[in-house]
Structure formats: structure tokens, C-alpha cells
Chain A
Amino acid sequence: MTLTSIIELLEAKVVTGNMCHEEVETGFCSDLMSDVLTLDTDKMLLITGTANIQTIRTAEMADVKIILLVRKKEASPEMIKLAEETNITILQTAFSSFRTCGILYSFGLKPVY
């Protein structure tokens, strides 16, 4: 699934990053970073309502390139700066986790497990 279609489907905005032609194959939704750190998946979209600097650090360590913040959670300036340094794209949607995951699943984004 392309980021462009994710952005359209979720009425999302790009907070930072320049990867609209990037593709993701799987999605994982969690507010717990230690769950995210147990995964070994490439081309994964991280869907989360946890918006703090450790969300970006987790993505950096786990080689996650795209983070989608749900429930209109805001990325702080520190988060944006770190995302830029580590080449991570942040998207934001006002939709709930459930609605976000439902839409992405029905349009073919695969679960990790």
C-alpha cells in the first residue's frame, strides 16, 4: 500500500518526511513500544496513539520508517527534529485506532501476525 493512498483513506496529514511514494506491506497497531520492539518485519507501518520522543527512538531502533499517529496526537518539535535526523516519516490522522486499522485492513494492508 502506498503512503499516498493511506493519506487519502485516513484524511491524514504529513507531519514530517518526504516518502509519499514509499510502500508499506504490513501494519502494526500498539501504544506499547516494547511490543513494537519484538517485531522483525520490513516495510511496516507503525500505527500508534503514543506520541513522545521514545516513539521515534523505537522506530529508529526497529528500522520502522513510517509512523502514523492516530486520534490527532501531536508530534512535538523534539519528535519532528529526531524524525528528520533519523529519516522517519510521521503521518497524523484524526481517526481512532479502531477506525484507522479497520480501513487499512479492508484496503489490503496485512497484519504482522
Chain B
Amino acid sequence: MVKLKYDIEGGNFNRAGNASSQVKRVLKQLNIDQRLIKKIVVALYEAEVNIVAHAYEGTMEINISPEKIDMILQDKGPGISNVEQAMQEGFSTASQKVREMGFGAGMGLPNIKKNTDLMEIETSVGVGTTLRMTKYLNNVE
């Protein structure tokens, strides 16, 4: 079992992606299939950027076992008032600053769903959001 944990700073686009990049390095060392790695790190990066773009601070926790990788991204932030709406392609509340960085297409959450096997959002308005994702490591398509 490999366990990893990283802090994520809200608003700091210079550092966004650092945690996902570290995880990618570990997954490569574990010799996981490259196509699976891509799906995992794209989902993680979308989730990491969401904390940077929409929340104040957060953490990324990763648990890797031979059969699956569990990922938990927890943040303190505004929360999501309507998760169903947030999950729709194209829905975004991203600020101008976030859009200038190349984000805010409203594609992140749907893309996370597409790239993972399980995805669950727990959120409380004014408190924060927890996103749990799982990817099984044995079902290479």
C-alpha cells in the first residue's frame, strides 16, 4: 500500500498541478499502464485545479493498492450549491483570472467522471468540498 498526501494552495496557479505531477511520478515508478496513468492524472489535475480555482486551501490524499487507487481531495472553500448543475458540461462560475489561465470551460467535473470508475462529491456551502475518486488498476481497456 502506498500512501501520499499533499497540500494545495487556493489561488496559486504557479503551483497548481505540482501534487498531480508528483503522483504521476510515483505511478510511473509502480509500472502502471501508461493509458491508466493518463486517466488518473487528468482526473487528479482537474480536481487539483478546481481547488486552486474555486477554493481557499485543500489537501490531496492518495492510497494505492495493487487493485485500485483511491483519491480524496478535500478543501475549505465556498462549496457547491448545486452539484447536479456543476456536473453538467459547460457550467462554470470561474473568475476572469481563472479563465485567463486557460480554465473555466466547465469541463473539469464531467471529465473527472469520464476518467474514473467511482466519483463522489460531498459539499457544504460556505464550508468546503470533498471529492472522492477511485480508479481500478486491472481493467485496461
- The reply to whether B102 and A33 form a contact with Cβ atoms under 8 Å apart is yes
Is A1 among interface residues, defined by CB-CB distance under 8 A?
no
**A32 touches B (CB below 8 Å):** yes
What residues of chain B lie closer than 8 Å to A40, measured between beta carbons?
38
Q: Taking A60-B24, A61-B24, A61-B38 as contacts, is the C-beta distance between A54 and B111 under 8 angstroms? A: no
A94 within 8 Å of B (CB atoms): no
**Interface flags, A18-38, vs B, CB<8A=1, else 0:** 000000000000011111011
B interface, by DSSP: helix, strand, loop or mixed?
Answer: helix
Across-interface contacts of A34 in B (CB, < 8 A):
46, 102-108, 111
Known: A37-B111, A62-B38, A63-B34. A57 touches B16 (CB 8 A): yes
Which of A38, A55, A57, A78 is in CB contact (< 8 Å) with B21? Answer: A57
Q: How many interface residues does chain B have, given as a range?
A: 20 to 34
Per the 8 Å Cβ criterion, residues 40-86 of A in contact with B are 40, 48, 50, 52-55, 57-58, 60-63, 78, 86
Looking across the interface, which residue of chain A has its beta carbon closest to that of B45?
A61
Shortest Cβ gap from B102 to chain A (Å): 4
- Residue ID in chain A nearest B13 by CB atoms: A54
- Is the CB of B42 closer than 8 A to any CB of chain A? yes
| A58 and B102 form a contact (CB under 8 A) | yes
Q: How far is the CB of A73 from the nearest CB of chain B, in Å?
A: 12
CA distance A62 to B41 in the complex (A): 8
Identify which of A37, A63, A86 contacts B45 (C-beta below 8 A). Answer: A37
Q: Is the CB of A57 within 8 A of B111?
A: no
In angstroms, Cα B21 to Cα A62, docked, is 11
User: In the bound complex, how far is the Cα of B52 from the Cα of A52, in angstroms?
Assistant: 15
User: Within 8 Å CB of A33, what residues of B?
Assistant: 101-103
Q: Could you say which residues of chain A place their CB within 8 Å of the CB of B49?
A: 54
CB-based contact A52/B102 at 8 Å: yes
B134 at the interface (CB under 8 A from A): no
CB–CB B41/A38 < 8 A: no
Q: B107-124 toward A: CB 8 Å interface, digit per residue (1/0)? A: 110010010000000000
CB distance from A54 to the nearest CB of B (A): 5
Q: Can you sample 13 A-B contacts with CB below 8 Å? A: A32-B103, A38-B114, A48-B102, A53-B13, A57-B45, A58-B17, A58-B45, A60-B17, A61-B21, A61-B45, A62-B42, A63-B34, A86-B21
